[in-house]
Structure 1
Amino acid sequence: RYAPEWMNRPTTGAASLTGDGVKMAQKLGAATASMEQIKVNYLCHPLTAKDGVSLTAITPYTILVNKDGKRFVDENHASINFKSKAMMKQPEHIAYAVVDQTAMDNLKLMRNYAEAGYFVKADSIPELAKKLDVNQKQFISTVDKYIADCNAGLKNDKEFNRKIQYPMTKPPYYAALVTPSMQSTYGGLKTNTKAEVLDHNGKVIPGLYAAGAASGHEAYANEVGFAAIIGLTYGKIAGENAAASLK
């Protein structure tokens, strides 16, 4: 309804997050805020057409290569939605996230995912290319160029000026199929500082409180920091005020 361009994407969020609280409150005349604000996770490894697992921990380690064997974006770009939109322009809206053993050494969760079969593993880039649905010659050339930049000690790669935080120099190599997925939304019910829900005229709807994902907290993509703090704070405020209203 609010972001139709992302319809039919898999999700890395909870299956229960379908906006029921927002829709129920709207029927009571509640106003909403920032409903168009969303987070799309471009590093979703799809498990089914509807869901997948998030591989965002590999962000500083990975390069993204499409089916044509080409990179298409600065993988360290600050905006995850920017990278998601770039991936949506690629064949079949997919790419392969390529990392080396360094990522696996540093990230226990990714080692677990590799053991679960979410990554393809190979001792060399040509061997890895054979295991993927890509233009093999172009894939090898693309990844070899990036590895050469890493071996040269460059701080940024030549193709996209991407910051090289963890040089890709340690085989074996791994690749996971990824596609943009819905991660979370940032819109919700308009509230005041007491966590009371407001109607379209800015008036309080008696006995109705909202916090967290159900509220239009306007923290946008800062869900790990700012939005989490807002959710915790207003969850406490909403609970206390709701309880007090019953006395």
Structure 2
Amino acid sequence: MNSEGKPQRKISRRDFFKGSAIAAMGVAAGGILAGCGKPATSQAPAKAETSGKASFEVAPPPIADKDIKETVTADVVIIGAGTAGMAAALSAVEAGVNTILIEKHTTFNARGGWNGAIGTKVQKREGIEIDKAQVVNELVSYASNKVNGKLIRLWADKSGEVMDHLIDMAEAEDMQIKLWFENVKRPNGYREYVTGHTFNGPKQANLVGLMEKHVKSKGGNIRYSMPAAQLIREGKGRVTGVIAGSAGKYTKFIAKKAVILCTGDYGHDEEMMKKYCPKGLDVDTNVYTPPVNTGDGHKMGLWIGAAMQEDAPHAPMIHNLGGAPLSSNPFLRINALGERYENEDVSVPQLCNSIQLQPGNKAWYIFDAKYAEEVGKMGAGFARRTSVTDGMRKELQECLEDGRAFTANTIEELAQKLEIPVDAFKSTVERYNIMAKKGEDLDYGKQRECLTTVEKPPFYAGKIPTVLLVTLGGLRTNINLQVLDTEGKIIPGLYAAGNVGGDFYANDYPVIVPGLSHGRCLTFGYLAGRNAAAEKL
């Protein structure tokens, strides 16, 4: 059977694998990190064959029967207990089938906290109507048509139904579900839809924990600290299970109906990053902690003949987390040469893209003592501040103390603290002030409301970090979430959902739909679990 539609640099290592204060802060606060599930531990061999393949593409020898200490049988076996995996387990147990969920980590995986959907009861209560066709067309266009539009339409059509089910579950336990942000449409044509739903605040663990509770209450078997190693498939036959655990104490999980991969992305496998997403290496830090997202579901799929999405390089999700407050607002931005380099009124992924083109990947945003009066004029948007609070002032002070931000009473002194050319910086600020006073950006065409002078001391500068959250490329599936092989045919008994699945993103992560990453994980995880449960024995 064919698929339901086939979509047809330099690497700066920097601090990629180093721990960071940004990562610690993001995990502790449940920040705005995104991701859909923990991958299973890879059992790839240490060396690649001499065929030109990367080592992760080479299938290891099958695990011998003598090394298997336990065999467990279920109808559906799900690998990866993140947002997608827990949603898959939930729908499978709700369908009344025997369900096992295995996870390599000691608990479920949850980060971030916004979940994108269209047509939910919460949106209807707020009088928010969103044109699905318009959103689908914009997402496909954002990806330069290098995606499977049918998968995006599937999310748009089914996300409201899945989200409403979760909302009912949450409200039954007095959880508060709120929408994130307002409808944004700026003069430059950029828009954001009101799609992000939070459950008792922007903390994904609240929602994933709720799903875990329901999975267990309905008899689902969850096994943590159980890393998957190899899928079980004879030739081009059906996938009948997975072997998991570690050497000397493997467990064979037999799946009478299907196996579902919900193993997340590959952001901590350097070899996979170099092949599929080199741009994601050229960042200040990788904030996915613990670093268990090593693409193991991708690898296990490749080893049995699955196809990877064809549009490489894959899209990374790179945001400016962990810097001083206001770094997403369109204040003057300068590079290490002291020069302005863009229209600053752009989205978070776009501002990170432009930073990666600057000398040394360095950029700062510049503002002065009257910033509190100017913030509200700049418009709302993903990660933007629309007002200055006491909490934000405290946050800025902390950044001044720890070196993420700088202040000075003169432009010359500020340039010296940033270690950038003084004369070039002074010239940049002078020209920017002239244009701001005239209300016309002659260099990049930024709208009048976002042109603010830098003339009232003290002056401030904040370093804008670039941070990899997840990678967004994976195995090809059809609209039933069944994994496809390199000939476009279904691999029987194998499904994929979340960031292990491909053909949904290209180029970049589209924050025009806040919460889309988790929203896809929830919707496709739930649908994959339901579809797998309906398989005929």
Report the TM-score when normalising by structure 1: 0.75
Contact 2:280 2:316 in 1 (8 A): no
The aligned residue for residue 445 of structure 2 is 161
Quick check: 1:70 aligned with 2:339?
yes
Query: Which stretch of the first structure deviates more once superposed, 72-81 or 130-139?
Result: 72-81
Amino acid at match of 2:428: T
Amino acid at match of 1:90: Q
Question: Secondary structure of 1:146's match?
Answer: helix
The aligned residue for residue 489 of structure 2 is 203
Question: Secondary structure of 2:276's match?
Answer: coil
Contact 2:332 2:344 in 1 (8 A): yes
**CA 1:163–1:231: 2 relative to 1, 3 Å:** farther
The aligned residue for residue 521 of structure 2 is 231
Quick check: 1:24 aligned with 2:300?
yes
> How far 1:105 sits from its partner (Å)?
7.2
Give a deviation string over 1:135-194, Cα, whole Å, max 9, x none.
Answer: 112212212322332233x1x422222234434246543222235443443211111122
Question: Secondary structure of 1:188's match?
Answer: coil
The aligned residue for residue 26 of structure 2 is none
Contact 2:324 2:405 in 1 (8 A): no
Contact 1:38 1:184 in 2 (8 A): no
**CA 1:176–1:54: 2 relative to 1, 3 Å:** closer
Give % identity: 30
Cα separation, 2, equivalents of 1:148 and 1:84: 27
Match of 2:435 among 130, 136, 149: 149
**CA 1:6–1:64: 2 relative to 1, 3 Å:** same
Cα separation, 1, equivalents of 2:333 and 2:471: 25
Once the two structures are superposed, the pairs formed by residues 111-190 of structure 1 within 5 Å of their partners are: 111=393, 112=395, 114-116=397-399, 117=402, 118-152=404-438, 154=439, 156-169=440-453, 172-178=458-464, 180-190=466-476
The aligned residue for residue 359 of structure 2 is 91
The aligned residue for residue 48 of structure 1 is none
Match of 1:193 among 479, 492, 497: 479
Cα separation, 2, equivalents of 1:236 and 1:57: 37
Amino acid at match of 1:205: I
Cα separation, 2, equivalents of 1:172 and 1:239: 57
Give a deviation string over 1:46-76, Cα, whole Å, max 9, x none.
Answer: xxxxxx6367963342322122211122333
Cα separation, 1, equivalents of 2:407 and 2:388: 16
Cα separation, 1, equivalents of 2:512 and 2:494: 26
Cα separation, 1, equivalents of 2:345 and 2:498: 28
Contact 2:280 2:471 in 1 (8 A): no
The aligned residue for residue 47 of structure 1 is none
Cα separation, 2, equivalents of 1:57 and 1:35: 33
Cα separation, 2, equivalents of 1:57 and 1:22: 37
**CA 1:241–1:64: 2 relative to 1, 3 Å:** same
The aligned residue for residue 9 of structure 1 is 283
Equivalent residues, number: 236
The aligned residue for residue 387 of structure 2 is 106
Which of structures 1 and 2 has the bigger CA Rg?
2
Amino acid at match of 2:420: V
Cα separation, 1, equivalents of 2:347 and 2:418: 28
> How far 1:209 sits from its partner (Å)?
1.9
Contact 2:330 2:344 in 1 (8 A): no
Query: Which stretch of the first structure deviates more once superposed, 165-174 or 193-202?
Result: 165-174
Q: CA RMSD in A?
A: 3.4
Amino acid at match of 2:450: Y
Structure 2 gap segments, 5+ residues each: 1-274, 376-384
Amino acid at match of 2:483: V
Contact 1:67 1:95 in 2 (8 A): yes
Cα separation, 2, equivalents of 1:75 and 1:107: 19
Quick check: 1:53 aligned with 2:322?
yes
Structure 1 gap segments, 5+ residues each: 45-51
> How far 1:93 sits from its partner (Å)?
2.4
Report the TM-score when normalising by structure 2: 0.38
Cα separation, 1, equivalents of 2:474 and 2:332: 34
Contact 1:96 1:178 in 2 (8 A): yes
> How far 1:237 sits from its partner (Å)?
0.6
Contact 1:61 1:165 in 2 (8 A): no
**CA 1:32–1:85: 2 relative to 1, 3 Å:** same
Amino acid at match of 1:115: E
Query: Which stretch of the first structure deviates more once superposed, 199-208 or 110-119?
Result: 110-119
Cα separation, 1, equivalents of 2:407 and 2:498: 40
Amino acid at match of 1:19: G
Cα separation, 2, equivalents of 1:196 and 1:211: 9
Cα separation, 2, equivalents of 1:175 and 1:163: 22
Query: Which stretch of the first structure deviates more once superposed, 89-98 or 178-187?
Result: 178-187
